[in-house]
Structure 1
Amino acid sequence: NGILQTDGYTGYQKVPCQAHALCWAHARRYFVEAIPPDLPKEDLLGSICKEAIERINELFAIDKEFAERPIRDFTIGRKNWLFSDSPKGAKASAVVYSIIETAKANGLNPFQYLKYLFEHLPDGDIQRHPEHLDDVLPWNETIQQNCK
């Protein structure tokens, strides 16, 4: 019912939505291709193409800070995770990925956080005392101090 963002493939025009939006990478490419190869650099400096490319680059910089970025590593790596061809493998992959990305989202060093978990969870008896799980969550003050 909302906006559908795609890469410009005409087949997507058949998908019902309020509006179609193209991705900035494809829009940027059109500006890059519009620059004549023999254009002197001094003529490029004040051009609309150069300004558009710079503004789109600024959007890319902002985008690196938000929701889509954390899943990019996962989508790039999924071909490498062939062990996830079973429900147990997929669940294990999802658990590890969630822990690492949650650590990153909370400003932690994922290696330090995993090391902390491996050192402290075996002694925690979380099964009988689930309230102790709060002590090892990424936003816990002790974790924040030890895993940056």
Structure 2
Amino acid sequence: MRKKLVVCVAVLSLAGSVVAADRPVAPNGIALYPDYLSWKVVAPSYREDKGQIRVITGNETAVAGLKAGKKPLPDGSVLAKVAWKAEKHPNFPVATEPGAFVQVEFMVKDAKKYKETGGWGFARFVGNTLQPYGKDTSFVAECFGCHTPVAGNDYLFTKMVTTP
């Protein structure tokens, strides 16, 4: 299990070292942000219906906006949601840990460019090859549709976790 997690982290680290021209690009033109694993952690989450452990990270603009309680977040904010399949720890079955890497998703704030989707651009990259999700730009309707129940929170499910 630990070996799988190390492999996942290694693959994601390598993805961060890819030159800009070689980054995967979603059908709507949003390229994978190679440094998303070095961004600050905004919050962890667990998606029951998917059986996924997720970590949400944010670039400096997003984190500053979240900490300041800004709604909507300022243009230039980018959030990444990194997902792994949840698996029981083999030696401690009451513990759940990340297993195989599933995907990374991005939300990119640009109120003018993405006016039709609440000011947010969406992108998803799936599997260890970081395959762009969607055959064409219509995939965005799926992403935005999921986020409409939280329109009053700038389309965000996530909030900055607090610690003492």
Question: So what's the TM-score if we normalise by structure 1?
Answer: 0.24
Question: Quick check: which one's strand share is greater?
Answer: 2
Q: Which has the larger radius of gyration?
A: 1
Question: Quick check: which one's helix share is greater?
Answer: 1
Question: So what's the TM-score if we normalise by structure 2?
Answer: 0.22
